[in-house]
Amino acid sequence: MNAHPPETQLHDYVDGLLGETEQRAVERHVRACDACRAEVEALRALTARLAALPRAIAPETDLLPGIHARIRWGSVDARVSSADATLSPAAQQHRRAGVAGAPEVPPQPVRGIPGGRALSSRFDARQLVRPRRSLATAALLLVAFGAVLALLFTREPARPPIAAGAGHEPGALSPAVEFRALDARYTAAARELLAELESLEDELPPGTLDIVRENLRAIDRALDEARLATASDPGDPRLARLILAAHEKKLDLLRRAAALSVES
Amino acid sequence: MRTPMLALLCLALSAGGTAAQQRLDHRRPLRADGLVRIHNLVGSTRVTGWDRDSIVVTGTIEEGGGRFYAGGGVEGVKLGVEGGLPKADASLHVVGSAPAHLEVRVPAGARVWVRAASANVEVSGVTGGIDVASVTGSIRISGTPREAVVESMAGDIVIEAADPMTVRAKSAAGAVSLSGGARDASITTVTGDITVSNGVYERGRFESIDGAIRFEGDLALAGDLEFINHGGPVELRLPANVSADFLVNTFRGEVENAFGSYPMRTGPDLRGELTFSRGSGGANVVIRTFKGRVSLKER
């Protein structure tokens, strides 16, 4: 095999999904080709990294009392290790699929349609579902952001909870301010991921973005209603719980839509 | 833009017209617990578990529907339909390729992974793990998979468990129906309805934004179920002799409780919280809504 193996074949090689003869042929090429060897090593490294991630970072049931306590009473320690930030549901998705990242690949011509590049990426299953490293990374980071936020709120206050409405530590942000900041960050994360999705519209199955947008509108309506209600009680943990749940749904919806273009 | 699109369409249609429907008959050995990965975006995919250590793919690919591929070894097989000529509707919007209809028989213990766009997917008789995702295609799972992870954007999801299983199901606009019981169930929608019925449920979390959530199952002795909705109703139909501790929390939703008490309403939004126990308790039921109606009914 002198020509570089196609990207899809490299993925299958790393995944061990090639037939014996094909596997050997790719292996010979990879041994002799620095570029392909580097690509294979990168794929393996990412696969190993994803495989090492925990299956779930979903908060355990005792997370929410911690969130409530932090929203109502405490300031938070915003220092979170970069290692923590890698724990994301998106990663689980990739891990579940046994996926590794890959560089961007230009659209391939449609068979039988000379120069038909504009439509070429649509519904070529192998190309459609191949991961783009940039998007995979974005998805990892964005959804990790949710995990980071959860981590922030799971940290127990350094002091026993005090009565609602009482003061908080000097210099610490008030729970209401903290919650608004959290709300804004979730909103920004969702906006960023939506922009990423919109840039990949041609690579998503037709209609996907319309479905996503329609459902995002439903979630946004819910968020607006809940936010209005918080005006009368900014520290109410029950409202905070509903708002956080809606935010998580929004990020999850965007993550799942992104996975349609990145997963294998 | 319109002219090139027309030209492409004509090419696509003429090229598609020259190819005959493909009939598939592909067979290869596969370990009893091997991995099967299937891509078929348009059409249908039916996966059935059987008691042989091999995989058989039959079916058809319509004219212009792409090319069948399969690779791998006894540990894992990857198959599907790739390419396919773009197909446009009357307004020249590309709507996908022509459909492929795959019938796939796999070892019952295989782990099955399926991706679809508008294709409908059915999986039955598989006891290994199942992971299926679609965009608008419906998904139906039946049998006793070890674990089912099922996601769709707008397609309906139906899961019929022969025995209690572990289920993760998500849809945005599609409805999700689960029956047969679950050891651990998590179902999430945005506007799609959620229906849970027939069987014993040990641990479950059922969430929506505007979809209706309806539960007609039985609670395990120490079951732990949570229902969260924003605007959609939550309705639980439970046996008259149900034994559980209940917490109902709603801001603007009405509460109908056939089991006794009603929530105390306080605050400007008439928010209410209701806690009560039936029987000797044991199971734990939590319901939270913003404005969705909560109904607790006897069945």
In a domain, A212, yes or no: yes
Number of structural domains, chain B?
A: 1
In a domain, A221, yes or no: yes
- pTM for this model (two decimals): 0.70
Interatomic CA distance for residues B259 and A38, integer angstroms: 66
Residue with tokens 């395990």: B220
Mutation to test the B interface, candidates A18, A215, A241, most B Cβ within 10 Å:
A215
pLDDT at A121: 30
Q: Are strands B194-207 and B271-278 parallel, antiparallel or unpaired?
A: unpaired
pLDDT at A70: 41
Name the pLDDT band for B170 (thresholds 50, 70, 90): very high
The most confident of the ranges A136-140, A170-174, A247-251, B192-196 is B192-196
Q: Is B78–A12 a contact, with Cβ atoms under 8 angstroms apart?
A: yes
Bigger pLDDT: B269 or A70? B269
Q: Is A218–B75 a contact, with Cβ atoms under 8 angstroms apart?
A: no
In a domain, A127, yes or no: no
Classified as helix, coil or strand, B70 is: strand
pLDDT at B295: 94
Average pLDDT rounded to a whole number, residues B149-163: 95
Do A192 and A158 lie in one domain? The reply is yes
- Residue B259 in this model has a pLDDT that exceeds 90: no
Classified as helix, coil or strand, B38 is: strand
Rounded to the nearest integer, the mean pLDDT of chain A is 61
Please state, for a pLDDT cut of 90, what percent of chain A lies above it.
8
Of the given ranges (A61-70, A209-218, B165-174), which has the lowest mean pLDDT?
A: A61-70
- pLDDT tens digit sequence for B17-26: 445 789 999 9
Q: Is A19–B72 a contact, with Cβ atoms under 8 angstroms apart?
A: yes
pLDDT at B262: 66
The vertex-B148 CA angle with B144 and B153, nearest 5°, equals 135
Number of structural domains, chain A?
A: 3
Q: Is B170–A256 a contact, with Cβ atoms under 8 angstroms apart?
A: yes
Do A251 and A150 lie in one domain? The reply is yes
Average pLDDT rounded to a whole number, residues B171-200: 97
Interatomic CA distance for residues A263 and A260, integer angstroms: 6
Phi, psi (rounded to 5 degrees) for B5: -65, -45
User: Exposure of A240 by Cβ count < 10 A (0-12 exposed, 13-18 middle, 19+ buried)?
Assistant: buried
Q: Closest approach of chain A CAs to the CA of B267, in angstroms?
A: 9
Q: Closest approach of chain A CAs to the CA of B45, in angstroms?
A: 14
Q: Closest approach of chain B CAs to the CA of A263, in angstroms?
A: 9
- Residue B179 in this model has a pLDDT that exceeds 90: yes
Do A42 and A153 lie in one domain? The reply is no
In a domain, A59, yes or no: no
The answer to whether the CB of B25 falls within 8 A of the CB of B61 is no
Residue ranges making up the domain that contains A41:
7-51
Do A215 and A152 lie in one domain? The reply is yes
Distances A194 to A72, A251, A253 between C-alpha atoms, Å: 31, 9, 10
Do A179 and A99 lie in one domain? The reply is no
CB < 8 Å to A9, chain B: none
CB < 8 Å to B69, chain A: 126
Task: Please enumerate in sequence order all residues whose Cβ is within 8 A of that of A97, keeping only pairs 6 or more positions apart, or say none.
Answer: A263, A264, B113, B131
- Residue A93 in this model has a pLDDT that exceeds 70: no
- Residue A39 in this model has a pLDDT that exceeds 70: yes
Do A139 and A251 lie in one domain? The reply is yes
Among A129, A222, A246, the residue with its CB nearest the CB of B115 is: A129
In a domain, B254, yes or no: yes
Tokens of A202: 């041609």
CB < 8 Å to A260, chain B: 133, 135, 153
Average pLDDT rounded to a whole number, residues B267-273: 60
- Residue A110 in this model has a pLDDT that exceeds 90: no
- Residue A175 in this model has a pLDDT that exceeds 50: yes
In a domain, A165, yes or no: yes
CB < 8 Å to B170, chain A: 252, 256
Residue ranges making up the domain that contains B189:
156-299
Interatomic CA distance for residues B155 and B146, integer angstroms: 23
- Residue A53 in this model has a pLDDT that exceeds 90: no
Interatomic CA distance for residues B262 and B84, integer angstroms: 59
Q: How many CB pairs under 8 A join A and B?
A: 169
What does the buried/exposed string (b/e) look like for B190-219 if buried means 16 or more CB atoms within 10 Å of the residue's CB? bbbbbbbbebebbbbbbbbbbbbbbbbbbb
Average pLDDT rounded to a whole number, residues A202-220: 90
In a domain, A230, yes or no: yes
The vertex-A205 CA angle with A201 and A206, nearest 5°, equals 75
- Can you give the CATH number for the domain in which A143 is found? 1.20.120
Average pLDDT rounded to a whole number, residues B140-149: 95
Interatomic CA distance for residues B233 and B243, integer angstroms: 23
Distances B275 to A214, A242, B5, B236, B239 between C-alpha atoms, Å: 36, 19, 62, 15, 18
In a domain, B239, yes or no: yes
Please state, for a pLDDT cut of 90, what percent of chain B lies above it.
70
Do A213 and A238 lie in one domain? The reply is yes
- pLDDT tens digit sequence for B201-218: 999 999 999 999 999 999
Mutation to test the A interface, candidates B157, B190, B252, most A Cβ within 10 Å:
B190
Interatomic CA distance for residues B249 and B41, integer angstroms: 42
Bigger pLDDT: A162 or B260? B260
- pLDDT tens digit sequence for B229-248: 999 999 999 999 999 999 99
Rounded to the nearest integer, the mean pLDDT of chain B is 88
Q: What's at B161, amino acid-wise?
A: A
Do A169 and A243 lie in one domain? The reply is yes
Interatomic CA distance for residues A178 and A169, integer angstroms: 13
DSSP alpha helices (H): ranges in B94-205? none
pLDDT at A242: 86
Q: Is B32 on the interface with A (CB under 8 A)?
A: no
- Residue B3 in this model has a pLDDT that exceeds 80: no
Instruction: Tell me the residues of chain B between 176 and 205 that have a Cβ less than 8 Å away from chain A.
Output: 188, 190-191
Tell me which chain B residue has its CA closest to the CA of residue A126: B82
Q: What's at B110, amino acid-wise?
A: A
Average pLDDT rounded to a whole number, residues A69-88: 30
Average pLDDT rounded to a whole number, residues A217-225: 95
CB < 8 Å to A67, chain B: none
pLDDT at A216: 96
The answer to whether the CB of B252 falls within 8 A of the CB of B263 is no
Do A76 and A41 lie in one domain? The reply is no
Do A151 and A205 lie in one domain? The reply is yes
Interatomic CA distance for residues A161 and B37, integer angstroms: 51
pLDDT at A232: 75
Of the given ranges (A152-161, A231-240, B132-141), which has the lowest mean pLDDT?
A: A152-161
In a domain, A1, yes or no: no
pLDDT at A10: 80
Bigger pLDDT: B151 or A81? B151
User: Exposure of B264 by Cβ count < 10 A (0-12 exposed, 13-18 middle, 19+ buried)?
Assistant: exposed
Do A218 and A148 lie in one domain? The reply is yes
Q: Is A229–B290 a contact, with Cβ atoms under 8 angstroms apart?
A: yes
In a domain, B261, yes or no: yes
- pLDDT tens digit sequence for B118-131: 899 999 999 999 99
Tokens of A70: 């932090």
CB < 8 Å to A256, chain B: 133, 151, 153, 170
Q: Closest approach of chain B CAs to the CA of A233, in angstroms?
A: 10
Q: What is the largest distance, in Å, between two alpha-carbon atoms of chain A?
A: 73
Among B41, B249, B251, the residue with its CB nearest the CB of A229 is: B251
In a domain, A43, yes or no: yes
CA atoms within 13 A on the CB side of A2: 0
pLDDT at A56: 41
